């Protein structure tokens, strides 16, 4: 019931190409192909926030700039990559005003 209004996103050829670029250009290590696909699907579908507990390859401060750079070089605006806690903190800060 909680997910009734949530739309599914598609794994398109554009997402496959961006995932490949993320790996080839070194934004993510080759063994992180599933993580690259996760990011690419979100990016190519215009998702605003990619919320994850994956600190190894996605919510990783060292990799985040490389991920964003590759997305922009490929013509996409990357989503905000954050943990659920970071997203909740931002929401609390917005509601405090």
The pLDDT value recorded for residue 96 is: 64
CB atoms within 10 A of CB 45: 17
Confidence of residue 5 (pLDDT cuts 50, 70, 90): confident
Domain ranges of the chain: 13-96
pLDDT exceeds cutoff 80 at 2 = no
The pLDDT value recorded for residue 4 is: 81
CB atoms within 10 A of CB 97: 4
User: Residue 62 has which token pair?
Assistant: 């060292």
Contacts of 18 (CB under 8 A, 6+ apart): 39, 40, 43, 44, 70, 71, 74, 76
The pLDDT value recorded for residue 93 is: 62
The pLDDT value recorded for residue 67 is: 97
Q: How far apart are CA 7 and CA 84, in angstroms?
A: 19
Average per-residue pLDDT for the chain: 90
Give 3-state DSSP helix, strand, coil % of the chain, rounded to 5: 55, 5, 40
Confidence of residue 17 (pLDDT cuts 50, 70, 90): very high
pLDDT exceeds cutoff 80 at 9 = yes
Q: How far apart are CA 94 and CA 87, in angstroms?
A: 11
pTM attached to this predicted model: 0.84
């Amino acid at each position: 019931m909680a997910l009734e209004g949530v739309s599914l996103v598609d794994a398109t050829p554009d997402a496959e190409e961006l995932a490949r670029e993320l790996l080839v250009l070194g934004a993510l290590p080759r063994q992180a192909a599933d993580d690259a696909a996760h990011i690419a699907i979100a990016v190519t579908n215009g998702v605003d926030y990619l919320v994850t507990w994956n600190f190894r390859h996605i919510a990783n401060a060292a990799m985040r700039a490389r991920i964003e750079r590759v997305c922009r070089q490929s013509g996409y605006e990357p989503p905000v990559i954050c943990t659920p806690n970071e997203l909740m903190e931002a929401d609390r800060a917005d509601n405090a005003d």
